[in-house]
Amino acid sequence: MVRSIVGSVLLFLAAGATASADVAPQALIQTTDIDSLSVSPDARWLAFRTRQADIGNNGYRLTWHVAPTDLSMPVRIVADGGVPLWTDAGGATPAPPQWLPGSDGFVFRALIDGAVGLWRASPSSFGRVAVAIGDADVRSYEVDPVSGRITYTIGASRAAIMAAEDREYRDGIVVDATVDMAQSVYHGAIVNGRHATQRLAGRWFARQGLLAETPDRVIVIEPKKPLSRGSSLSTMAAPSADAASTGQPSILTPDKGGRCLSVSNHPGSAGSDPPAIRRCFPDRIAASTWWPDRKSLLVTLQDEGFAQTLVDWSPRDNRITALVRSSGLVAGSEVPSSPCALTASAAFCVMASAGVAPRLMRIDRRTGRGAILYAPNGAVMRNFAGTVTRLDWRDGAGARFTGQLFAPRRARHAPLFVTYYRCPGFVRGGLGDEWPLAAFADAGIAALCINKPPGPEGETLAQPGYDRALSGVTAIIGQLARDGTIDPTRVGMGGLSFGSEVTMWTAMRSTVLRAVSIASLQLEAAYFWMNGVRGRDNHAQLATTWGLGAPDETPEQWRRMSPALNIDRIATPVLLQLPEQEARTSMEFYARLTHSSTPAELYVFPDEPHILIQPAHRLAAYRRNIDWFRFWLQDQIDPDPDKARQYERWQTLAIRWKPAQSSHARAQSSTPTRSNRR
C-alpha cells in the first residue's frame, strides 16, 4: 500500500506589526533538526539527535533522545550532545552513534568543554559518561558489535596545535599555496569550538586546521579494561571481509545518472559467480539500505523537486513495492542522501517538506502506514500563514524546472522574491538560509525557491547553467504575472554560491529585477590573484568552469563573466551580506557600485565560513533581507527606531538612484521617497 503525503500546506502566520520582523524569523531559525538515527542491535531502541539554535546564547543545543521502536513509551532525552561540529563550508557534521553489544548503551562523538571525545549514553537513564577524553581530539571511532571493543583515532594534541599557531604568529607566516589571504591568517576561523588557524587543503577551498596532516594515532579500549596506550595502525581491528567474498549481497550503482542498482551474490544465488540483478527506477536514487533480514532493500527515489518516494525492492524476484510517496524528504535527516534507520518491520525516517518542519516518523514495512514518533516543531508551524505550493514549468527551450512558492494569504499581484539553487526539505531561507520565505509571504511578498535542473551530461562551463537559470526565472515570472499572482514590475532575487552568481547574471542580462541580495563573492581580478599562488588548483578550475585565464589574457571573458566589469548593466539595488573571508575578494565590485548611481550596501560577518553558522548572524541577515526587499519592492519602512539610521542610508541611496534610460531601464521605475512610505 502506498501512503501519499502531498499537496499544499496551510500555514498560520503570527499577526501584528512585528510578526515579519521578529516572530517568523526567530521561529524559522529555532526550528529543531533531527539527525544521526541509529537502531540498537536488539531492535528495541532508536537513538537520534536533535539540534536547535539558541539565539540568546548565539549557539546551539544538541540533545540525544531514545524511543522504543514499538512506540510503547514516549521519546525521552538521555544526554546533552555538546556543541556542534561543522564542516569547513558551514554544514552540520552528522554524528551517528554506535551501539554497544547488548543494546544497553551507545557511544557518540561530541565536542564538550573544548575537547572532541567519546561519550556513552544509555536508554535506561539520563546523563553521559566519558569514554575517551584526552589531550587530542577524537577524529573517528568504531565499536566492535560483538566484543564491544572501541577503537578510535586521534591526531596532534590541542596544545601542540595551539603552540604551532602561536609560533607562526611570532615568527611570521610564509605564504604558500595553503594560505588563503582572503581569510585572517591567524585564528581566522572557528574550528572544533575555538578560534583557530586554518589552511587550504586539497581541492578548491577545502580547509583544515594546523597539524591536521599529523598521522592518525590509534587507541583501543578493551571492554571493562582501562584505556590502552597509543599504538600503531596495526592495532586497529581488522576490517570485515568484503560482502561479495562472504556471499552477502553488495550494492553497485554503475550508471552516472544514479537511477539503477545492481546486486551481486543476492539471496538465493547459486554457484560461485551468479549474475548480478539489475533494476532501474524512474527517478534518481538518493539512498539504498538493506533491511536487517537482507531479503530486500529500502530504496529512496527522488525527483527533480526533491520529492522522495520509498520503495521496497526484492532482488530475489526483482519485485518492487511502493511504501511512501512524499511531497518532500523521507530520509535520515535534512540531508536528502541520508538513509532511514531500519528494523525488520519498520523504517524510521525524518520527514520534512517545503512548508512542514522536520518530524520523526515510523513507517511500517508491510503496509507503508506512518506514525509520528517525534514532532518537536509544533510551535514553529503555528507561527506561519499562507500557502506553500510546488510549481512545475518549462522554459521556451523545453527545460523543466521545479520550485516551491510561498504565497501571501488573500493577495493578488504581489511583489515576488526568487532564490535559486536547491530547495530540499523544510525550506526556511533557501540554500544558505538567509532569505526567510515564510516571513516574506507574511509581509505580502510572494517567495519562490527554484531548484537548479541538471544540465546535459559533460557540461562543464558555468555560463550555460546561468543562461538556463535566467530562462527558467523569466518564464515563471511571466507565468505568475499572467495568472495575476505577482506584479512583474516588483521582483527581487537573492542567493548563495551558484545562486548568487545566477542572481547577478539575471541582474546583468535582463530587466526583470527590481532589487537583489547576495551572500557570496563574485568573480573579479582580485579573486584571481588572491588565489593564484603556485600550487593552487584555483586557476585550473576557473579555466574549466568559467573559461577564464589571467585578466590580461582573457579580458573579453572577464568582461562577460564579472559583475565588477558590468556595473553599467546593473541598475538594480544590490545588498551584499558576506562572510568576512569572501568580502575581501569582493571589494572591486562593491567599490565600483558605490561610485555608480546603483544603490548598494555591504555587510560583513566575522568568523563565518561559506554558509553562516552563528544564529545571531542568521537572524541579522533574515531581518535585513526582509527590510531590504520591503523597502525596494513595497515602499515600506519599519518604524522601529533602532533601524532609523539604516533607512536614512537607504533613503539617500534611493534619492541618488537614477535608473539608466537605456535597454535595461525598467518601464515603471521611480525614485522612492519617505513621503510615499509607511
DSSP code per residue over 456-509: -TT---HHHHHHHHHHHHHHHHHHHHHTTSEEEEEEEEEESTHHHHHHHHHHHH
Q: In angstroms, how far is CA 315 from the centroid of its own chain?
A: 34
Query: What's the grid cell of residue 600?
Result: 548598494
Count of other CB atoms within 10 angstroms of residue 142: 15
Inform me whether the pLDDT recorded for 20 exceeds 60.
no
Q: Average the pLDDT over 354-366 and give the result.
A: 95
Rounded-to-integer distance, Cα 285 and Cα 303, Å: 9
Q: Average the pLDDT over 313-320 and give the result.
A: 91
* 153-157, 280-284, 674-678: segment of lowest average pLDDT: 674-678
> 570 and 590 in contact (C-beta within 8 Å)?
no
Rounded-to-integer distance, Cα 299 and Cα 287, Å: 6
Rounded-to-integer distance, Cα 657 and Cα 157, Å: 56
pLDDT of residue 232: 32
Q: Average the pLDDT over 647-665 and give the result.
A: 74
> 474 and 461 in contact (C-beta within 8 Å)?
no
Reported as type and span, the H/E element at residue 170 is: helix 158-171
Domains delineated in the chain: 45-226 (no CATH), 249-265+276-381 (2.120.10.30), 387-524+562-654 (3.40.50.1820)
Where is pLDDT greater, at 16 or 494?
Answer: 494
Inform me whether the pLDDT recorded for 330 exceeds 70.
yes
Q: Average the pLDDT over 459-488 and give the result.
A: 96
Please enumerate in sequence order all residues whose Cβ is within 8 A of that of 33, keeping only pairs 6 or more positions apart, or say none: 50, 51, 52, 92, 333, 334, 358
Inform me whether the pLDDT recorded for 507 exceeds 70.
yes
pLDDT band at 122; cut points 50, 70, 90: very high
Q: What is the pLDDT of residues 233-262, one digit of tens each?
A: 333 333 333 333 344 556 555 566 689 988
Inform me whether the pLDDT recorded for 632 exceeds 90.
yes
DSSP 21: I
pLDDT band at 227; cut points 50, 70, 90: very low
Q: Kindly report the average pLDDT of the chain as a whole number.
A: 88
Inform me whether the pLDDT recorded for 17 exceeds 70.
no
Inform me whether the pLDDT recorded for 338 exceeds 70.
yes
Inform me whether the pLDDT recorded for 42 exceeds 50.
yes
pLDDT band at 202; cut points 50, 70, 90: confident
3-state class (DSSP) for residue 587: helix
Q: How far is CA 521 from CA 207, 543, 604, in A?
A: 17, 18, 11
pLDDT of residue 250: 60
Q: What is the pLDDT of residues 142-187, one digit of tens each?
A: 999 999 999 999 999 999 999 999 999 999 999 999 999 999 999 9
- Rounded percentage of the chain residues whose pLDDT exceeds 90: 78
